[in-house]
């Protein structure tokens, strides 16, 4: 149910970009770049929590930098939420791209997330989960 809502939010966001682009006569290549993430990655990883191995899903979305260089870096954050999806992270990364453009910051939007309920884990456990996620991302050169 929630993933359908996230897909709907993404669909609305893509349509919004296309409408705005049409009003300002933006080139097609720019609209494609703004609506197509440079990367959407889903990973599975394990973390040792209180002597037990637990499995987690993690996600990363990176959007092209709309500045003339089109290069990295990316600005965003890490979300802990049991219902996090690639679609909602894509919307949030798109919004971060917009915020950076409005502030004239040369960053593409980025957002990452780990699907778990942080209220069920201690600060130490959350640190271990985050470190395991980071280790997994390093394997993908991120």
Instruction: Enumerate the active-site residues.
Output: 111
Helices (H), the chain: 2-24, 28-35, 86-102, 123-138
2-24 vs 28-35: helix crossing angle, rounded to 10: 160
Contacts with 67 (C-beta within 8 Å, 6 or more apart), sequence order: 101, 106
Q: How far apart are CA 45 and CA 104, in angstroms?
A: 36
């Amino acid at each position: 149910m929630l993933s359908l809502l996230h897909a709907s939010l993404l669909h609305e966001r893509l349509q919004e970009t296309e409408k705005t682009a049409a009003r300002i006569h933006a080139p097609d290549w720019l609209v494609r770049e703004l609506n197509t993430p440079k990367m959407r990655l889903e990973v599975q990883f394990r973390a040792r929590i209180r002597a037990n191995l637990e499995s987690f899903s993690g996600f990363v979305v990176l959007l092209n930098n709309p500045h003339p260089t089109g290069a990295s870096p990316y600005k965003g954050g890490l979300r802990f939420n049991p219902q996090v999806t690639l679609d909602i992270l894509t919307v949030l990364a798109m919004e971060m791209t917009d915020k950076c453009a409005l502030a004239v910051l040369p960053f593409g939007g980025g957002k990452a997330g780990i699907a778990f309920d942080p209220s069920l884990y201690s600060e130490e456990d959350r640190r271990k989960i985050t470190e395991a996620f980071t280790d997994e991302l390093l394997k993908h050169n991120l």
